Structure 1
Amino acid sequence: MKTKFICLILTLCFAFSCDKKDDFEIVQVATPLVMSKADFRNSVEVSAPQTIQEVGKIYAYKDFIFIGDVEGIHVIDNTNPETPTTIKFIKIPGNEDISVKDDYLYADSATDLLVFDISNINDEVKLVERLEDVFSVYDYQMPIEADEADYSKLNWEDDIIVGWTVTAERRKKRDDERFIDFVSDVAVIESSTGTGGSLARFQIVNNYLYTVGSYEMSIFNISNLSQPVLANTHYAGWNIETMFEADDYLFLGSTNGMYIYNLNNPASPEYVSEFTHWEGCDPVVVDGDYAYLTLRGGNACGQLESVLEVIDVSDKANPTLAARYALENPYGLGIKGNTLFVCDGTAGLKIFNKENPLDLNMIKGYNDIQSKDVIPLQNSLLMIGGNVLYQFEYLENDIKPISTYSLN
């Protein structure tokens, strides 16, 4: 009798454990590493050149090139394009973008906007202003392999996320779909305002600095360059990745489309329309009646297909798809006259004649280099890719290398 009772208990336990096992699963949980905002803000400094960790965005101003990195900005003296030289590293934790006007450099640092005086950049770079907590959303750089995030020990008011640990944990299954907030890249004449690549999220237009985050636009009045004022903040769209200004319009590239805003009231851009496409990483540039955007699939951005799309924006209220071209691994792009430069990632740099935007003609391809983004300046083309800064001279229907500078 005792044996039967034990068997019954074991049977019930086994059945119970089986039921419970079905209710659990192994998930990858990301836990944020944090720093107090006070310590975070005190960590900004200017130092001697540093080894680059991960090439970010590119920006050009006068004779200088700025390259973003994990912890800040590398400053390169490009007075002689044949022999560029790194001269400084500006440590700005949580930085993604910069813009420069009249020797004042604006940079995000997680939730803050910083202003640096770079008028004497060879000798001294001075932090002259910090606007605290003006960005409610910043890129937490959450690991892509994470299924869930554990924010239980994060103090949103006093802490800043500076990294992550990922561990496999046994957790109870959830019936609802998981959602992870992954808050997340034309030829110009050089002037007192610098030039960013197509992956930029900062744009200066006259006396205003426009910035976009994942879904929010922040507008700063920079009439007093050293003391910007937050003029407005509003919803901008969903999963915004890049911003481009042309003809008093802002074109925002998102993972699922392009948003258009007019600058009739520069302190408060007005939504005009949007063009929707399948999900994919999406920088955009505009020239005249056409916008050119690349969609990169096969990764966390969304779909498998990678293409270059040409959008007719002659009617800003009704943008329409005009043409589509297959690519392999596209990132940034830029325009110089009738030439369109497309960074096709590991597939190299592609050069198109865009005299007829509806029938682009590829006139040259450089397949032996890796390309991420370009800046077509008045007299030269800047490109970054694979931890290398490339500079090219313009030729008719081609380009000629000026220099190749390793960023390692």
Structure 2
Amino acid sequence: MKKPLLIIIACLFLQSCWLHRNDERGDINPVTSSFEPLTIDREIFESTIAIGAPREIEEAGKIYVNGDIVFINELNKGFHVLDNHDPKNPANILFIEIPLATDLAIRNNTIYVHHAVDLVAMRLDANSIEILHRVRNVFPRLNSPDGFLAEDFDLGENQIIIGYQSLN
């Protein structure tokens, strides 16, 4: 009984390898995404970090505390900087505009930010921001909402995906 059952299972397993009449590569229609990537040129992308006026928190992400300064991520838009000397009344002092930013860390007064596909090291003063170093393409590109990889789209090396637009 075991031997015939094993042969049947092996035949079923190997059946997927057999060619059928319509299995030629030219007859297969590739599945395409329902979205197209929205991109920005790398040169423009790298100039998008700036200091702005304080604003209301709309969609908070991660929170990072460094001494009396609190950084609150505004999802994919940047970071709110709050002065927390008086914890009962923190003051929203400025907003660091960093499109597609999701996280930051601080070490020795250097702020490290996840900026879309890049890792950026910067220094923040009261009225200015200095980019110290940028490591390009450390993080993966943004994938489409329907699961297609960024590599599935025909994009140039200097095109940064900033979002997706529905084709429907």
> TM-score normalized by structure 2?
0.70
Q: Which has the higher contact order (CA 8 A, sep 6+)?
A: 2
- The match for 2:87 is 81
Q: CA deviation at 1:149?
A: 6.0
5 Å-filtered alignment, 1:167-316, equals: 167-168=167-168
- The match for 1:132 is 135
The one-letter code of the counterpart of 2:160 is: I
Find the residue that maps to 2:119 and give its secondary structure.
Answer: strand
Is the alpha carbon distance of 1:115 and 1:148 closer, same or farther for their aligned partners in structure 2, counting shifts above 3 Å? closer
CA distance in 2, matches of 1:78, 1:35: 36
Q: Is 2:113 the partner of 1:112? A: no
Higher helix share: 2
CA distance in 1, matches of 2:91, 2:143: 30
Q: CA deviation at 1:148?
A: 4.3
2:104 paired residue among 72, 95, 98: 98
> TM-score normalized by structure 1?
0.31
1:40 paired residue among 34, 39, 45: 45
Structure 1 segments, 4+ long, off by >3 Å, are: 147-153
- The match for 1:226 is none
Aligned length: 138
Could you list the runs of 5+ residues in structure 1 that have no partner in the other structure? 1-22, 169-408
Is the alpha carbon distance of 1:60 and 1:28 closer, same or farther for their aligned partners in structure 2, counting shifts above 3 Å? same
Higher strand share: 1
CA distance in 2, matches of 1:115, 1:59: 16
Percentage identity across aligned positions? 27
CA distance in 2, matches of 1:141, 1:93: 16
Question: Considering only aligned residues, what root-mean-square deviation do their CA atoms show, in Å?
Answer: 2.6
Could you list the runs of 5+ residues in structure 2 that have no partner in the other structure? 1-27
CA distance in 1, matches of 2:58, 2:144: 18
Is the alpha carbon distance of 1:35 and 1:49 closer, same or farther for their aligned partners in structure 2, counting shifts above 3 Å? same
Q: Is 2:78 the partner of 1:72? A: yes
CA distance in 1, matches of 2:134, 2:153: 28
CA distance in 2, matches of 1:27, 1:50: 40
CA distance in 1, matches of 2:149, 2:36: 6
CA distance in 1, matches of 2:110, 2:92: 19
The one-letter code of the counterpart of 1:106 is: Y
CA distance in 2, matches of 1:28, 1:108: 27
Alignment check: 8 A CA contact 1:57 1:67 kept: yes
